[in-house]
Structure 1
């Protein structure tokens, strides 16, 4: 039961709710398509006749349902762009049902509840990157193009001139999405005009969100480098440098901050972490002297290498030896006790192994020895001298 609870998270629960919401829109349309699929295989005459079995709002419902299922798959990764698109989609669904379809049923209430939950837990979605933003932009634009083409073909005879082929539908979709509006294809019915408005509004929204999701991380990273690298670097002194983004490094960071110490965290670009939002972070190769200089290694109290790979910790210590100040201490974590001797060769001021320390404390406790601060200090600083 504890294992199951540990795997259940708020983003996962929200993803399930979003998937259910998508099913409200998707299942009826898929059922209708499956019922008419046998007759469509051999009786294709035109796009209008082929799509005529669908109701007017079933095409947008189909794409809304598919897109929500897609978002539900990505929400457990805590992706901020997935959260943003889901919120926009839920808000659009509510507006569509209330003001256009004029439905007042369980779907509106359910969508509203999911939207409130998504907004309430917005802090749970913190991961973002240039790659994910680009991926979402491509997927969103592609789906909007397909939706626009199918809707245009479905309402083809309600445009002047009539739209009857894929090429013309694709052209009209791009013109509407980009809000160019050449005027060579004009909707002349209320339904066609309303559909054209949805394409225009969706195009503006998707393009704006796509640009922000791609440009946002780029601008954010550059601002962080400028602010933290050129301004804050002057204030980095008498501080601790923690290298790593694993649970141990986060715990060490929180403990040092709770004592009132200044801490700078260093890890590789794109690393997923759970550090607080206002953490002083330097993203770069931790084993590079330039990165450690940027973190203020020459004025630091200690450089603590807490990566999960012992080789990475060794390279961090070697780089730290080149740029650290005279009073800067270097501490290295050894994850595999077999690497203790190898780590000693890079000559850090302190080498510690949590498995070895834990086993030593356990054995001494079982033997009835008293565990005090002096013993713990001896195990940390003096244990390595006993190694052959």
Structure 2
């Protein structure tokens, strides 16, 4: 059991999200290779020379219009890899969708891509298996998704408009006109000054309009969703939305000591999450980050962000509950998390030490020692108080 728990802790502490991000970025690079080779072959002397209808047509013709989705998938995977580094859930979702699309593309274009198909499928499976590692959501992640989606659609629209330029009236022959037509079509404004005149150009314009409506709607929901959701929770529950729990301190209990520790920590700027028993009466402020549940349950500790917590403090009035909280914390917290246990009676001090908290203290022992030293005229210094508050947590032999 000890070896298994140690292996589990090492496994959880590994920066696996970095490895997955690198693998996703590499997959994106394999998709971008035709475009990179085409740009290298063109070797334009300036951006003005590159951004012309002739140059872009040569660029597209060098590997075919059908490969443009491949480039878009590659760019999307490269950008989503950055989101995976920050454990963003939306980056995980989009990466998985892009990998599935990439596997489908490779299967469709099955010309010696068997190894890439296997690599993409294995990578998608790894993302599914380790989905718990990507549990963060934020306005920044939603904004990144919106930016990537709109930029990808814009690239698709500009390239397609230039490639089919002669099939419009008037013809689209430069990047500025292609950009203008793309924006007008994506936003469904439709001024009518540039119109498609062939079946291919009409279908292309229709695809821009449909994708534009879908992406704009999804992007708005991704950005506005967290804001609107937070306001609704504030109206319904009368408090701010749940903060992102990381590098915080978890306090389990509603004792006067627990509430005073909470107030002192908040006054010093620390983020604190409190676990209280269901339907219990407490004196914590309304804006406190509260979780109702049994702190001896590992699921409740995980919901409180135990793996990313700095400290887990068991400050209940029942010493046995404090001991069980420490045992549960050892199953879910990382090696960087420190555990603190309160011994309400001195007779339970040795028993609580046996469960192995990093720090254990007894207010009764502290008060008795300070009072006796004061009466005896002995020196009371910081080292003595620290030893009384936090004696060694190693069990006595």
State the TM-score bracket (shorter-chain normalisation).
Answer: 0.5 to 0.7
- Deviation by residue 1:150-190 (Cα, 9 ceiling, x = unmatched): 33223312333311123321222123323455664216254
Distance 1:51 1:384 in 2: 85
Residue 126 (structure 2) aligns with: 117
- Deviation by residue 1:117-159 (Cα, 9 ceiling, x = unmatched): 3344333322112233234323432343244223322331233
Q: Is the 8 A contact 2:186 2:211 kept in 1?
A: yes
1:379 CA drift (Å): 7.7
Distance 2:76 2:42 in 1: 23
Residue 215 (structure 2) aligns with: 206
Aligned length: 287
Q: Is the 8 A contact 1:176 1:199 kept in 2?
A: yes
Residue 97 (structure 2) aligns with: 88
1:57 CA drift (Å): 3.1
Q: Is the 8 A contact 1:153 1:169 kept in 2?
A: yes
Residue 167 (structure 2) aligns with: 158
Residue 113 (structure 2) aligns with: 105
Matched, 1:188 2:198: yes
Determine helix, strand or coil for the equivalent of 2:58. coil
Distance 1:132 1:229 in 2: 26
Determine helix, strand or coil for the equivalent of 2:135. coil
Q: Is the 8 A contact 1:48 1:156 kept in 2?
A: no
Matched, 1:144 2:153: yes
1:37 CA drift (Å): 0.9
1:15 CA drift (Å): 1.4
- Deviation by residue 1:75-128 (Cα, 9 ceiling, x = unmatched): 0211122223223333443455556x5768334443344334334433332211
Distance 1:274 1:27 in 2: 48
Q: Map 1:282-293 onto structure 2 (within 5 A).
A: 292-293=285-286
Q: Map 1:230-379 onto structure 2 (within 5 A).
A: 245=245, 249-250=249-250, 252-253=251-252, 292-295=285-288, 371=350, 376-378=361-363
Residue 34 (structure 1) aligns with: 40
Higher mean displacement: 32-41 or 77-86:
32-41
Match 1:51 to one of 49, 57, 63: 57
| Structure-2 change in CA distance of 1:130 and 1:64 (3 Å) | same
TM-score normalized with structure 1 length: 0.57
Residue 387 (structure 2) aligns with: none
Long gaps (5+) in structure 2 = 1-6, 255-261, 291-308, 311-316, 318-336, 342-348, 354-359, 374-379, 382-397
- Deviation by residue 1:9-28 (Cα, 9 ceiling, x = unmatched): 34223212311210111123
Distance 1:115 1:274 in 2: 36
Distance 1:215 1:105 in 2: 40
Root mean square deviation of aligned Cα: 5.0
Distance 2:210 2:106 in 1: 16
Long gaps (5+) in structure 1 = 231-242, 258-264, 281-288, 298-307, 310-327, 329-353, 359-369
TM-score normalized with structure 2 length: 0.55
